């Protein structure tokens, strides 16, 4: 055998899932997703559309995950009917997994050990690139998921890759969210479009797997097709604890071709916040000091991890939420909810004045806890387009769980470093 | 893919947003016959009435940016018009193919030679654009044959059904 052409992470994944020795950026291949995910807000509509077109069976139903996650617990008659149809159709079509209120799809499929490094995952929902945190390529396909359900495969134009090398180490108070917001400053929509962001470097290796999922998941909001992190022993250990065994480290091959290489030094970063009208509008938290907020939210597929809930409780450390602020906390999955209950984290957050809700996407897209005109929320969720969380005249800021917690205490956007204990905090293992 | 398009050039500029193509209040409407009456109505009120099958919409950079809705493409397919864009991002490009709207991507030097109201003859399969008004002709890279098959089938689901039938699969039932 000749040595194969050096490949990026994304090229390795698309070569494997298209049954090819190698793939070249720009060529179009049929790729077979290892997993196909759809939430209840899309699934019944997709099945109806397929049936209208004379297609009554899924090609690979065992690879399909249906998750009731957008409206949990259901709070509308339409939603109740949609859920009833979802449960019925999931049985009729024989899908591999129906998760009914178990958590938000993207963190849930990782938690349940359904995703391996180098998997190709096709999703109806936009934020599937978070699966890049375990070295998988998650790509959103929206309505084209119908074609994937029918055929079990989909055409994919092999993307170029932009390598983002994050060196150094995050200073205290700087998190994965701040890393991705810093990346947005370096990689604009023109550079990101139709490309995959590949993360590596010492600062990425120092992140936990859930933190890497935050880093990759938010890359869709800079316009990238997807994002993926290299796979190391830490990732292998994380997956083994979730029943995924035999994972070997995977890196891009030396000498592979990138559309661009961007280097960021984590040591020089400070906490930052996305301001309207979209997540790529990023400012240093210090520039927004004294901006009043009435709502604070920790949750969504990009957050709501046990480590973040714990960090929020630790930052509160006996302090309470500002009397003018409604703080809402939503663990991303039911298991995280249970763990946070067992460790006392939910009790501490509740005692500090936060409201705890069951796992759901809810507030992120305005399905729950809507905002009125003139109100402002700081949130760990994914997007801040006008109208996304209720009134078009409400303002949404996006930041890390630490920044959201500090702001909830202060009643205005606040720098979490002002609330950290005196001794330096290290990233949790 | 339908080779011979012959019709009027409807010329638009850069950054034509998805929400300008079909206003967002029609997001729950899926009937193409209704949607075609709203296509670009706020930008060019005469277009829904006057556009004919074989006409071609010619746009600048970043066509159909913003919301990721299939509605504008359903309307275009119903109208029978084709599309020539200077640039289009992944979402709308895939939607055009999935719905079955013939599409070419052309450089700024070509787009600049296509004026509103010109009579065009466009061979989408071959990537040939003839401006009959000015007498100039252009060659651009057509969609790969692979994607042309999907467009020619009338979109992704028709293509999927045809593939399943060809494979003799029991997956497709009429």
Same domain, A48 and A165: no
HSE-CB at A395 with a 13 A cutoff on CA atoms is 14
The whole-angstrom distance between A204's CA and the closest CA on chain B is 28
Q: Does domain B4-166 have CATH number 3.20.19.10?
A: yes
| Domain identity same for A213 and A344 | no
Contacts with A60 from chain B: Cβ below 8 Å: none
Test B160 with A143 for CB contact under 8 angstroms: no
pLDDT of residue B102: 97
Q: What integer is the mean pLDDT of A387-391?
A: 91
Q: Tell me how crowded residue A373 is: count the other CB atoms within 10 A of its CB.
A: 10
* Helix or strand (DSSP H, E) at A343: none
Mean pLDDT value of segment A98-109: 98
pLDDT tens digits along B93-125: 999 999 999 999 999 999 999 999 999 999 999
Final residue of a domain: which of A268, A288, A319?
A268
Contact A57 B171 (CB under 8 A): yes
Does residue A245 share a domain with residue A111? no
Residue A351's domain is classified under what CATH number? 3.30.499.10
Q: Where are the domains of chain B?
A: 4-166
Averaged pLDDT, B42-57: 96
pLDDT of residue B19: 84
- Determine which of A29, A54, A59, A280 to mutate to test the interface with B (most B C-beta atoms within 10 Å): A54
What's the rounded mean pLDDT across residues B1-5? 67
- Residue A1: pLDDT band (50, 70, 90) is very low
Residue in A closest to B94 by C-alpha: A144
The Cα–Cα gap between B132 and B118 comes to 7
Task: Give the model's confidence band at B3: pLDDT under 50 very low, under 70 low, under 90 confident, else very high.
Answer: low
- For A133-183, write each residue's pLDDT tens digit: 999 999 999 999 999 999 999 999 999 999 999 999 999 999 999 999 999
What's the sign of the alpha-carbon dihedral A329, A331, A332, A334?
negative
How many inter-chain contacts (A to B, CB under 8 Å) are there? 62
A211 with A299, same domain: the answer is no
Render pLDDT for B130-168 as a digit per residue (tens, 0 to 9).
Answer: 999 999 999 999 999 989 999 999 999 999 999 999 987
Residues A55, B164: C-beta atoms closer than 8 Å? yes
Nearest to A381 by CA among A346, A367, A294: A367
Same domain, A247 and A200: yes
Contacts of A33 (CB under 8 A, 6+ apart): A17, A63, A120, A121, A122, A148, A152, A153, A154
A381 and A283 fall within a common domain: yes
pLDDT of residue A429: 39
Burial of A246 from C-beta contacts in 10 A (0-12 / 13-18 / 19+): exposed
Does residue A213 lie within any of the structural domains? yes
Q: What is the mean pLDDT of residues A242-260?
A: 97
Q: In the prediction, which pLDDT does B25 show?
A: 77
Mutate to test the interface with A, among B94, B95, B166, B174 (most CBs of A within 10 A): B94
**Whether residue A17 is found in the same domain as residue A139:** yes
> % helix / strand / coil in chain B, to the nearest 5?
35, 20, 45
Is position A14 within any domain? yes
CA distances from residue A240 to A199, A230, A338, A418 in whole angstroms, order as listed: 22, 17, 21, 37
Q: Residue A92 falls within a domain, yes or no?
A: yes
Closest chain A C-alpha to B118 CA, distance in angstroms: 31
The DSSP H or E segment spanning B97 is: helix B90-99
Q: Determine, yes or no, domain membership for A247.
A: yes
B18, B24, B30, B36: CA torsion to nearest 10: -60
Distance CA(B86)–CA(B40), nearest Å, equals 18
Chain A interface includes B170 (CB < 8 A): yes
A369: tokens are 């806890």
- Is residue A47 within 8 Å of residue A93, measured between CB atoms? yes
Hey, what are B8's tokens? 């009027």
A423 pLDDT band, cuts 50/70/90, is low
Coil, helix or strand at residue A59: coil
A253 assigned to some structural domain = yes
From chain B, the residues in CB contact with A55 under 8 A are 157, 160-161, 164, 171-173
Look at residue A258 and tell me if it is in a domain.
yes
For A367-413, the three-class secondary structure string (H helix, E strand, C coil) is: CCCCECCCCEEEECCCCCCCCCCECCCCEEEECCHHHHHHHHHHCEC
What confidence tier does A89 reach under pLDDT thresholds 50, 70, 90? very high
DSSP 3-state assignment of A147? helix
Domain end among A142, A157, A172 = A157
Residues of B with CB below 8 A from A225's CB?
90
Cβ neighbours of A57 in B, within 8 Å = 170-171
**Is residue A224 located within the same domain as residue A143?**
no
Q: For position A312, what pLDDT does the model report?
A: 98
Provide the pLDDT for residue A237: 98
Does residue B66 register a pLDDT over 80?
no
Task: Answer whether residue A283 is part of any domain.
Answer: yes
| Best CA proximity match to B159, nearest among A95, A55, A120 | A55
Q: Grade residue B67 by pLDDT with cuts at 50, 70 and 90.
A: confident
Residues 6+ apart with CB under 8 A from A160: A25, A26, A194, A195, A196, A257, A258, A259
Residue A429 domain flag: no
Q: Please provide the average confidence, as pLDDT, over all residues in chain B.
A: 91
CA of A264 vs chain B CAs: smallest distance (Å)? 26
Closest C-alpha among B120, B122, B30, B124 to residue B75: B30
Q: Domain total for chain A?
A: 3
DSSP β-bridge partners for residue B128:
B123, B139
Give residue B68's pLDDT band: very low, low, confident or very high (50, 70, 90).
confident
In the DSSP assignment, the letter for residue A241 is T
Given A157, A190, A224, which residue is the final one in a domain?
Answer: A157
Calpha distance A305→A137 (Å, rounded) = 21
Domain that holds residue A37: 9-157
Distance from CA of A29 to the nearest CA of B (A): 9
Q: Which pLDDT value is given to residue B4?
A: 83
Q: Do A55 and B68 touch (CB under 8 A)?
A: no
- How does pLDDT run across A16-74, given as a tens digit for each residue? 999 999 999 999 999 999 999 999 999 999 999 999 999 999 999 999 999 999 999 99
The pLDDT value recorded for residue A424 is 52
Question: What pLDDT band is residue A422 in, cutting at 50, 70 and 90?
Answer: confident
Query: Looking at beta carbons, which residues of chain A come within 8 Å of B31?
Result: none
């Amino acid at each position: 055998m000749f040595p194969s052409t050096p490949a990026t992470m994304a090229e390795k994944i698309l070569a494997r899932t298209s049954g090819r020795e190698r793939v070249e950026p720009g060529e179009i291949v049929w790729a077979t997703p290892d997993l196909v995910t759809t939430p209840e807000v899309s699934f019944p509509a997709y099945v109806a559309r397929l049936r209208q077109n004379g297609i009554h069976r899924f090609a690979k139903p065992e690879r399909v995950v249906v998750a009731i996650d957008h409206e949990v617990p259901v709070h509308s008659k339409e939603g109740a009917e949609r859920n009833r149809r979802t449960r019925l159709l999931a049985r009729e079509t024989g899908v591999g997994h129906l998760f009914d209120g178990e958590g938000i799809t993207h963190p849930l499929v990782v938690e349940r050990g359904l995703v391996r490094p180098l998997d190709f995952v096709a999703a109806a929902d936009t934020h599937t690139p978070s699966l890049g945190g375990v070295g998988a390529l998650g790509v959103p396909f929206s309505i084209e998921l119908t074609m994937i359900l029918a055929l079990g495969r989909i055409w994919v134009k092999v993307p170029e890759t932009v390598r983002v090398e994050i060196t150094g180490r995050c200073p205290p108070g700087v998190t994965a969210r701040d890393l991705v917001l810093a990346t947005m400053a370096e990689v604009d929509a023109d550079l990101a479009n139709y490309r995959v962001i590949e993360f590596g470097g010492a600062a990425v290796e120092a992140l936990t797997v859930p933190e890497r999922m935050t880093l990759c998941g938010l890359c869709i909001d800079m316009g990238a097709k997807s994002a993926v992190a290299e796979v190391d022993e830490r990732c292998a250990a994380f997956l083994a604890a979730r029943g995924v065994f035999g994972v070997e480290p995977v890196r891009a091959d030396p000498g592979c071709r990138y559309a661009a290489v961007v280097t960021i030094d984590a040591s020089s970063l400070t906490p930052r916040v996305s301001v309207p009208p979209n997540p790529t509008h990023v400012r240093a938290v210090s520039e927004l000091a004294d901006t009043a907020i009435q709502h604070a939210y920790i949750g969504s597929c990009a957050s709501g991890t046990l480590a973040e809930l714990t960090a929020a409780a630790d930052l509160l450390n006996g302090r309470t939420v500002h009397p003018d602020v409604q703080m809402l906390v939503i663990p991303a999955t039911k298991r995280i909810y249970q763990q946070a209950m067992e460790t006392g984290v939910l009790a501490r957050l509740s005692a500090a004045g936060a409201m705890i809700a069951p796992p759901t996407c809810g507030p992120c897209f305005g399905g729950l806890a809507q905002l009125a005109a003139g109100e402002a929320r700081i949130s760990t969720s994914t997007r801040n387009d006008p109208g996304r969380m209720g009134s078009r005249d409400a303002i949404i800021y996006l930041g890390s769980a630490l920044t959201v917690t500090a702001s909830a205490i202060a009643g205005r956007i606040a720098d979490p470093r002002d609330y950290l204990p005196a001794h330096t905090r290290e990233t949790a293992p | 893919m339908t080779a011979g398009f012959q019709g009027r050039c409807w010329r638009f500029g850069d950054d034509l947003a998805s929400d300008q193509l079909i206003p967002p209040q029609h997001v729950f409407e899926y009937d193409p016959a209704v949607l075609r009456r709203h296509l670009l109505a706020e930008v060019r009120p005469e277009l829904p009435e006057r556009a004919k099958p074989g006409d071609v919409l010619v746009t600048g950079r970043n066509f159909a940016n913003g919301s990721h809705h299939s509605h504008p493409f359903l309307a275009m397919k119903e109208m029978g018009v084709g599309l020539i864009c200077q640039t289009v991002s992944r979402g709308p490009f895939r939607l055009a193919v999935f719905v079955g709207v013939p599409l070419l991507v052309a450089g700024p030097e070509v787009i600049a030679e296509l004026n509103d109201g010109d009579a065009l003859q466009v061979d989408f399969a071959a990537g040939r654009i003839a401006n009959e008004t000015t007498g100039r002709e252009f060659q651009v890279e057509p969609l790969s044959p692979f994607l042309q098959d999907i467009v020619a089938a009338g979109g992704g689901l028709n293509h999927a059904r045809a593939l399943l039938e060809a494979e003799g699969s029991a997956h497709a039932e009429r």
